Structure 1
Amino acid sequence: MTTAPETTLTTRTSSLTVRPDLGARLSSLRVGEYELLRPGDHYGSFPMAPFCGRTRDGRFTNGGTIHQLPLNDDPNAIHGTARDHQWATAPAPESEDGRPTAAFTYDLAEPWPYTGRVTQLMELGEDALTLRMGIETYGDSFPGQVGWHPWFRRNLGKGGEDVRIAFQPGWQEERGADHLPTGRRIDPLPGPWDDCFGMPDGVTVLLTWPGELELTVTSAEKWVVVYDEQADWVCVEPQTGPPNGLNSQPRLITPIEPLEASTTWSWRLL
């Protein structure tokens, strides 16, 4: 396996650029004349692994063992460790219909206390991007999460209107003063949001830039964080559990049961 500064996938109408040296983040997604993602080394769209969102006080337990993670969102740990490291470019499986694909891997290391591998696969089409991610362990079982954190442009910069976000969650995780779920489920509140929502039939969120483009984010997972408190950017983050999920909704990764998830972003020009 090798590591290159960037990998680009292209179709007749779309292009995707990935930076394995920057945590295998998507640095660009272009559809026609539109760039959809926020530029910058810390933005684009990055994978969240082996946990998503904030972990309270950076602590989680595995059985009777308490682990302490660095507090990179004081007083919490946030968004996993995989985004902060270089990934390796791996051979990508061919798609059934000839769509361009790419694959990247990251071997878990300090400060995460367990060994394992994170794998991310990407498949780009004329009207959709599918992302798949999984974690396997090299030894002991441990709790984990995976998810994606895209920064979408609020305005596509071509003179059109700002994006509109539409979704129908089953509930909202009540957010405490520390921005972490309290454990209570409440009826969804109007935005702006920095909140986690439950969608028991799977994530479906529609982003519409009127007269320009529609983008639908889907996933079989039932959790999504929506963040639209900034003036120029919005985030729609499908993930395998809520923030602080290492403690409240742990998904155990074992030698015979990896953690796997996927999301598809499909679009159409208006």
Structure 2
Amino acid sequence: MHNDTTLTAGDAELTLQPEHGCRIASLKVGGTELLRQGEKFGAFIMVPWCGRTENGEFRNGQVTHQLPVDAPPHAIHGTGRHSVWHEAAPATETTAAHYFDLADPWPYPGRVTQTVELSPHSVKLTLSVEATGDSFPAQAGWHPWWLRNLGQGGQDVELTFSADWQEERGDNHLPNGNRIDPKPGPWDDCFGMPDGVDVTLNWPGEMRLRITSPSEWAVIYTEQPEAVCVEPQSGPPNGLNTLPRLVTPIDPLEITTEWTWHRIG
């Protein structure tokens, strides 16, 4: 259905779908699939905003813009996941680079580029958002759906992380501005990690995977039985309004994350 791009390194195999939002459709290690399968799953890109934007509205200076409300009453996860991406450089066995140009319903011109670098025991992802006209606030990040259970008779995944704070959620599902001590899960919550995102997923006796990023924000979602999400992102939900990061023609936004794994036993 899609013109997929498949990278291999050692016993790791990663499949990208450039025409389907450039999502990572599959990540297999030793033949074991780590990501939940399906059109909405795998690991998709959140850009030019992450999570929910309140009522689909954001301001740039004195101008208010309206985005499509696709998670009523909010706009969620950006437009990149619905876009067709194009090859930015010829793929190799272990690397791929793709881009798409920001367009309606996003009101500002710009270019988003993702590079993927696969190694036998890790993958490094880089996203950049460039302004090709007026400056604008933006966010970028990833939304991987990790299988809760690898389906081979083992135990469910365990998450380990240390956060300085948790963004308290209001009734509208958005951070309300209060920072609280991290609470036990289940979560659909944003955590602050000023020293960088660092979350370990452990499938006991099977696999250990560590997600790191220099960024200080991660949303962790564990409310579904099939999968858990650990989402490194450049700002909190609704950050277009509450913590805008201005992208200018001379100051692009860049975020990286590295996922490192090793098989146990």
Q: How many angstroms does 1:100 deviate by? A: 1.2
Alpha carbons of 1:173 and 1:92: their partners in 2 closer, same or farther (altered >3 Å)?
farther
**Structure 2 residue aligned with 1:244:** 238
2:75 to 74, 77, 84: 77
Task: List alignment gaps of at least 5 residues for structure 2.
Answer: none
**Structure 1 residue aligned with 2:33:** 35
CA contact 1:92–1:121 (8 Å) conserved in 2: no
Q: How many angstroms does 1:12 deviate by? A: 2.1
Q: How many angstroms does 1:5 deviate by? A: 1.1
Q: How many angstroms does 1:172 deviate by? A: 0.2
Alpha-carbon distance in structure 2 between the residues aligned to 1:232 and 1:49: 25
CA contact 1:172–1:189 (8 Å) conserved in 2: yes
- 4+ residue segments displaced more than 6 Å: none
The alignment yields a C-alpha RMSD, in angstroms, of 1.1
1:178 to 167, 172, 175: 172
Does structure 1 residue 215 correspond to structure 2 residue 213?
no
Deviations along 1:151-199, one digit per CA (max 9) or x if unpaired, are: 0000000100000000000000001111100000000000000000000
**Structure 2 residue aligned with 1:111:** 105
- 1:68-147 matches, within 5 Å, as 68-91=66-89, 100-147=94-141
Alpha-carbon distance in structure 1 between the residues aligned to 2:191 and 2:125: 21
Q: How many angstroms does 1:147 deviate by? A: 0.3
CA contact 1:48–1:79 (8 Å) conserved in 2: yes
- 1:226-265 matches, within 5 Å, as 226-265=220-259
Alpha-carbon distance in structure 2 between the residues aligned to 1:89 and 1:36: 25
Q: Which amino acid aligns with 1:244?
A: N
Relative to the length of structure 2, the TM-score reads: 0.98
Taking only the aligned residue pairs, the percentage that are identical comes to 57
Q: How many angstroms does 1:33 deviate by? A: 2.8
Q: Which amino acid aligns with 1:263?
A: T
- 1:1-12 matches, within 5 Å, as 5-12=3-10
Relative to the length of structure 1, the TM-score reads: 0.96
- 1:36-55 matches, within 5 Å, as 36-55=34-53
**Structure 2 residue aligned with 1:189:** 183
Task: Give the match's secondary structure for 1:52.
Answer: coil
Alpha-carbon distance in structure 2 between the residues aligned to 1:162 and 1:188: 22
Does structure 1 residue 162 correspond to structure 2 residue 159?
no
Q: Which amino acid aligns with 1:129?
A: V
Q: Which amino acid aligns with 2:5?
A: T
Task: List alignment gaps of at least 5 residues for structure 1.
Answer: none
